[in-house]
Amino acid sequence: MRVGCCAYSYRDFLKGGAMTLERFLDTAVAMRLDGIELTSYYFERSDRDYLNHLKHACFRRGLHIAGTAVGSNFCQADAQKRRDHVAMTKEWIDNSVLLGAPSIRVFAGPVPAGQQEEQAFSWAVACLQEVADHAAPRGVVVALENHGGITARAEQVLRLVQAVDRPWFGVNLDFGNFRADPYREFERVLPHVVTTHAKTHHGGPSGPERVDYRRALGLAKAAGFRGYVNIEYEGKDDPRTAVPEFAAELQQIVRELG
């Protein structure tokens, strides 16, 4: 396994202009990370010249671009809005090719007000199949995150995986997003996991609980996962100090697991 970091971990600095993506890359190097996930929200632009610039900047720093990420919602009741999100995701699949990123993280979405989950599920499956079909000949894996809505539980994620049924489609396991019996949920989805997000905490019955990463990554190793563990920090502490501390913890666990 390799440890990386999502640009999202520094969202407040990236959105506010206090940090550029290039500075984020330097931060990842200082933490001795293997790679980064470049979240689409924080690109100042996405033309070919700028994407090539970032690709070159990562190469010179010895960083893999482990993946890109978009904020898709394929459960919207408005058909045109679903089409817009499919088009946006396809555009970022193409951007991933230019960046040399092997995967793109997507969301399915929540059930809209006044709709039934079965309808939202049907919309999401059709959209996910379309973007996966676009991604396959371009060599990009579409990674669906367990992110509430129709992916809140392992059984929902597995149902989507089965229904989408595409070889270039898998799961981005966020270790912080399952609420009930999370380690059992991890075990259930791990056979389909292509990449992961590491939050410090998951939701518990009495509030946030620290994720036991020796246990979680041990399960991942047992399932044969060898990919990226990308830090997605959402804590209240300053990420400039909290993320390096968390990175060191994960790096130590990965070394111990071998």
Does position 11 have pLDDT exceeding 90, yes or no? yes
pLDDT score of 219: 98
Query: Both tokens of residue 89?
Result: 């995701």
Helix (H, G, I), strand (E, B) or coil at 37: strand
Does position 258 have pLDDT exceeding 90, yes or no? no
Cα separation, 238 vs 202, whole angstroms? 19
207 pLDDT tier (thresholds 50, 70, 90): confident
Domain ranges of the chain: 2-257
Q: Average of pLDDT values for 227-234? A: 98
Among candidate residues 224, 233, 222, 165, the one with its CA nearest the CA of residue 199: 233
pLDDT score of 180: 86
pLDDT score of 193: 98
Q: Which residue has the higher pLDDT, 205 or 55?
A: 55
Does position 206 have pLDDT exceeding 80, yes or no? no
Q: Which residues pair with 2 in a beta bridge?
A: 228
Average pLDDT over the chain reads 97
Q: How far is CA 185 from CA 19, 77, 84, 173, 182, in A?
A: 35, 29, 32, 10, 5
In this structure, the dihedral spanned by the alpha carbons of residues 95, 31, 33 and 8, taken in order and rounded to 10 degrees, is -40
In tens, the pLDDT along 65-117 reads 999 999 999 999 999 999 999 999 999 999 999 999 999 999 999 999 999 99
190 pLDDT tier (thresholds 50, 70, 90): very high
203 pLDDT tier (thresholds 50, 70, 90): confident
Q: How would you classify the pairing of strands 201-204 and 141-145?
A: unpaired
Q: Average of pLDDT values for 207-214? A: 94
pLDDT score of 162: 98
Q: Average of pLDDT values for 14-34? A: 96
pTM over 0.85: yes
Query: Both tokens of residue 199?
Result: 């939050």
Percent of the chain past pLDDT 70, that is, above it, reads 100
- CATH no. for 2-257: 3.20.20.150
Q: Average of pLDDT values for 141-151? A: 97
